[in-house]
Amino acid sequence: MASKLLRAVVLGPPGSGKGTVCQRIAESFGLQHLSSGHFLRENIRAKSEVGVLAKQYLEQGLLVPDHVITSVMMMELEKKQSQHWLLDGFPRTLVQAEALDRICDLDLVINLNIPFETLKDRLSARWIHPASGRVYNMEFNPPDVHGIDDITGEPLIQREDDKPDAVAVRLRKYKEAAKPVIELYKSRGVLHSFSGTETNKIWPYVYTLVSSKVRPVHSKEAN
């Protein structure tokens, strides 16, 4: 199997399971999961310059300006140059995809196609552990203790932008912005789309696809 470092992206609307799928890929293949939304929320909590600027956009469910998120992600990617990585939530626009093009050639783009009604239901039941970005769902993967993170015992919160009004705006904006990004990756032959309403059914196909590029952490070969 090639020893080249994997450069992968997961695309999909809010609630499509990007975070869940990325978490599973990161665990199964030992690669870095880099979530743009998580970095922005960390900056907001730290009240950094980027955080202060980004806060108003996140609260309204709007995309942060391209130059802001691009500089955040370029800084993070620079730190991870020597590792396999997987991007979640970036690029979201053609301008961002072009910025990413300038620093790497993508090997794999996973595109999650999930029906709108399913997205709305999932987001209203989503809870997160803000410090780690761990994601729960009150039906799909509830925490052991209601409202509490399994690992740290700290409280879980619901994101402001998972409220119904913000969700509708986010889903509309996603469609507009993502179309040219999806077309770009399709034209390059790196796009792999998966449709369905259940992550558990999509996951085996994603696992097989990623296995064709990187060795699983727990495979016999890896031991």
Cα 207 to Cα 26: distance, rounded to the nearest angstrom: 11
Structural contact between residues 34 and 86, judged by C-beta atoms closer than 8 angstroms: yes
7 included as an active-site residue = no
- The owner of tokens 């552990």 is 129
41 included as an active-site residue = no
> Is 137 one of the binding residues for ligand GDP (CB under 6 A)?
yes
Residues 87-106 that bind ligand ATP (CB under 6 A): 89-90, 92, 96
Task: Establish how many alpha carbons lie within 13 A of residue 112's alpha carbon, considering only the half-sphere containing its beta carbon.
Answer: 30
Structural contact between residues 86 and 8, judged by C-beta atoms closer than 8 angstroms: yes
Q: How many residues bind ligand GDP (CB under 6 A)?
A: 19
Structural contact between residues 215 and 29, judged by C-beta atoms closer than 8 angstroms: yes
Q: How many residues bind ligand ATP (CB under 6 A)?
A: 20
159 included as an active-site residue = yes
Question: Which residue in the set 7, 9, 15, 23 belongs to the binding site for ligand ATP (CB under 6 A)?
Answer: 15
Task: State the minimum distance, in angstroms, from the CB of residue 215 to ligand ATP.
Answer: 28
What's the count of helices (H) and strands (E) in the chain, helices before strands? 8, 7
Interaction pattern, residues 193-212, with ligand ATP; x per rule: CB under 6 A:
--------------------
Structural contact between residues 170 and 177, judged by C-beta atoms closer than 8 angstroms: no
Task: State the minimum distance, in angstroms, from the CB of residue 61 to ligand ATP.
Answer: 6
Helix-helix angle 116-124:164-188, to 10 degrees: 130
Cα 97 to Cα 90: distance, rounded to the nearest angstrom: 8
Task: State the minimum distance, in angstroms, from the CB of residue 111 to ligand ATP.
Answer: 13
102 included as an active-site residue = no
Footprint on this chain of ligand ATP (rule: CB under 6 A): 14-15, 18-19, 36-37, 40, 57-58, 61-64, 69, 89-90, 92, 96, 161, 170
Footprint on this chain of ligand GDP (rule: CB under 6 A): 12, 14-20, 122, 126, 135-137, 139-141, 198-200
Residues assigned a catalytic role: 18, 92, 126, 159, 170
